[in-house]
Amino acid sequence: MRHRIRHITEYTYDEQVPLCHNVVHLQPRDTDRQTCLSTCINITPEPASRRDRLDFYGNHVTSLTLQEPHDHLRIESKSEVDVRPFQPPELFRWPAWEEVAQQIRRRLEPAFLDARQYTFDSPHIPRHPDLAAFAATSFTPGRSTWDAVEELSERIHSGFKFDSTVTTIGTPVLDVLKHRHGVCQDFAHLMIGSIRSLGLAARYVSGYLVTHPPPGKPRLVGADASHAWVSVFFPDYGWVDFDPTNGCIPSYEHITVGWARDYEDISPVKGVIVGGQGHALTVAVDVEPIAAE
């Protein structure tokens, strides 16, 4: 299925800003289930310098600098992506989670060395005994890794309340566990921290989710949002995505922008400014399914 994504981030400053630096993660990457057919990122005012590159994790990054006084900044990305549904192999043996943790520690093939970096602490996701205890309800001795991960995702989906008013980017993952509410970023961090605390590899995925209006209602342009979910490493198979916010395995309605250790590495837009005093931020996202041409 093809999707057209439009993502607009706009800052309005109380006073002129003479200098700003920004890093942008808005171009969807190619994966085994996804092909980015086109991307255009427009920046207003025109930056003094702009550089497009790949980061350490292979994500597309746009770095930009504005050196002239300005009272607003608008970053608009337009992408078209073809996404194919996930189809788990029917006869694959999903090993016990203890076996997977041991293999990640000991095997030296490139895939395992890559996965190992996602077993450690990261800025927003420390490993912790409380997270391991939370995961242990699903990760019983000898249980299939697939079954345990799928159940953990469903437990977060059914046992935590989605509430966009109670957390911020900096909310500790242990607070999310204690209070049992938050947003997709919080639930992804919680699931990743729980899995890493058992010695398994999990990474943070940033992207978009196709939303559907109520029956009989039109789509509201710009009313969609960025989304976050989790990817877990399975030896001799690879990475599989899980969405704890919705309790599902992402398929053709999840569009991947990139992945990293946690939100800090892959936030859509971040940066620093000189001056400006206060500012207002508006974000509008539109994800539109389109017919293949």
Residue-wise pLDDT for 160-190, tens only, equals 999 999 999 899 999 999 999 999 999 999 9
Domain co-membership, 35 together with 154: no
pLDDT in tens, 210-222: 887 777 776 655 4
pLDDT at site 218: 66
Nearest to residue 194, comparing CAs of 104, 126, 144?
126
**Does 168 lie in the same domain as 227?**
yes
Q: Are residues 156 and 19 in the same domain?
A: no
Asked, for residue 90, whether it belongs to a domain, the answer is no
* Residue 213, pLDDT score: 73
| Contact status, residue 124 vs residue 262, Cβ threshold 8 Å | yes
pLDDT tens column, 119-141: 999 999 999 999 999 999 999 99
113-124 pLDDT, tens digit per residue, is 999 999 999 999
Are residue 48 and residue 107 in the same domain, yes or no?
no
DSSP state of 96: B
Look up the domain containing 50 and give its range: 2-84+267-290
The number of domains in the chain is 2
**CATH number for the domain that contains residue 181:** 3.10.620.30
Domain shared by 161 and 256, yes or no:
yes
> Is 198 a residue whose pLDDT tops 80?
yes
- Does residue 89 form part of some domain? no
Task: Let me know: does 70 contact 98? Beta carbons within 8 Å.
Answer: no
Whether 154 and 62 map to the same domain: the answer is no
107 within a domain of the structure (yes/no): yes
Q: What is the pLDDT of residue 220?
A: 55
Domain CATH number, residue 14: 2.60.40.2250
158 and 258 assigned to the same domain? yes
Q: What is the largest CA-CA distance in the chain?
A: 62
pLDDT tens for 5-35 read 999 999 999 999 999 999 999 999 999 999 9
Amino acid code (one letter) for 180:
R
- Closest by alpha carbon to 52, among 64, 43, 62, 65? 62
pLDDT tens digits, 252-290: 889 999 999 999 999 999 999 998 778 899 999 999 988
Q: Which of 114, 81, 118, 86 is nearest to 256 (CA)?
A: 81
For residues 292 and 41, is the Cβ–Cβ distance under 8 A?
A: no
* Statement to judge: residues 125 and 192 lie in one domain: yes
- Looking at the whole model, is its pTM more than 0.85? yes
My answer on whether 135 and 204 are in the same domain is: yes
Secondary structure of residue 231 in the 3-state scheme:
strand
Q: How confident is the model at residue 88 (pLDDT cuts 50, 70, 90)?
A: confident
Residues 126 and 77 in one domain: no
71 with 15: CB under 8 angstroms?
Answer: yes
Q: Tell me the pLDDT tens digit for each residue of 58-85.
A: 999 999 999 999 999 999 999 999 999 8
- Residue 91 lies inside a defined structural domain of this protein: no
Q: Are residues 234 and 284 in the same domain?
A: no
Position 26 scores a pLDDT of 98
pLDDT tier, 292 (very low <50, low <70, confident <90, very high otherwise): low
